Each structure stands twice: as structure tokens, then as C-alpha cells.
Amino acid sequence: MKYSNYKFALTLLTFLLLLDCKPDTTDYLNHLEGYWEIESVILNNGEQIDYRFSNTIDFISINDSLNGIRKKLKPNFSGTFETSKNSESFTIKFENDSLNMYYETPFDNWKETVLKATETQLTIINANNVIYNYKRYEPINLNNLN
């Protein structure tokens, strides 16, 4: 076999191995909880909306039985949050190599799929193929504004 055939075979093997590699969505669960600030939204027509500032953040909490809540919070300069008593309950299910969040309220029910969840980033897609990109919320430190 010529050198180029070896190179082709190695490239093909590498490609096939990478094709079979899927993200470990169970690891997403370790990063899902916490405070998240919206960075951008990609609409189903491809249009991207960037958020330079948002006055609300999403708080996600999950219990041991894979049930959770999602709540909108308004951060204050004092480091605390304003919140209403409203929250959306969800159930997590691992299906077809995906982490899905199923919401149910008295008015509606829907599903969101976590595409990515790391220590610093969260990406979610809904049934309308709208993608939401979040970054981990970091409180504004007024002492560092000098």
C-alpha cells in the first residue's frame, strides 16, 4: 500500500471514530443547575438576536428525582434578587442521547432539549427550533468599576 493509501485509511478511520462520538448528556445534568443569563437567541429562520444586557436571569434547580423548577429573577445591585412566586416545573428525561426538559403548567406543556451544558455555557432548543444561548450569571461587582 502506498503512503497516500495509509493516509486515506487513517483519515477514514479517524472520521468514523469521531462520527460515533456523542456528547455525554448525563454530564449536562451536572452543569444545568444555577443562574443563567441570556446571551443570544437564534430563530428558526437563522436570524440571531444578541443580548448585550438582560434585566432578568433564569434560575434552574433540580432535585434527586429529576424534577426541577425554572424561575425568572431580577438581580439587584445589593447582590440579592427580586422574584415573583411564579415558577415553571419540569421533569428531566434522557431520551435518544438527549437531555429533555418537559414543562407542564395549567395553561400549556412543552419540551426543550439541552444541546450543551458546561460550567459556563448552556444551549437549549425548543419545539419551534429556536435556540437559546446562555452564559453563567456573574453578579456585577461594583468594587471593580474603578
Domains: count for the chain? 1
Our measurement of the distance from residue 100's CA atom to the centroid of its chain's CA atoms, rounded to an integer in Å, reads: 11
Q: How confident is the model at residue 79 (pLDDT cuts 50, 70, 90)?
A: confident
Q: Is residue 115 part of a domain?
A: yes
**Cβ neighbours for 117, distance < 8 A, ≥ 6 positions apart:** 27, 28, 29, 30, 31, 32, 99, 123
Q: What is the pLDDT of residue 142?
A: 61
CATH of the domain at 71: 2.40.128.280
The answer to whether residue 4 is domain-embedded is no
Q: What is the pLDDT of residue 2?
A: 47
Res. 139 pLDDT band, cuts 50 70 90? confident
In a domain, 126, yes or no: yes
Does residue 5 lie in a domain region?
no
In this structure, is residue 106 part of a structural domain?
yes
12 within some domain: no
| Residue 10 predicted with pLDDT over 70 | no
Give the rounded percent of residues in the chain with a pLDDT score beyond 70. Answer: 79
| 39 found inside a domain | yes
Full residue range of the structural domain in which residue 88 is found: 25-145
Least confident among 53-57, 60-64, 80-84, 121-125: 80-84
Q: Model-level pTM? A: 0.78
In-domain check, residue 96: yes
Q: Output the DSSP codes for 80-124.
A: -EEE-S--EEEEEEEETTEEEEEEE-SS-EEEEEEEEE-SSEEEE
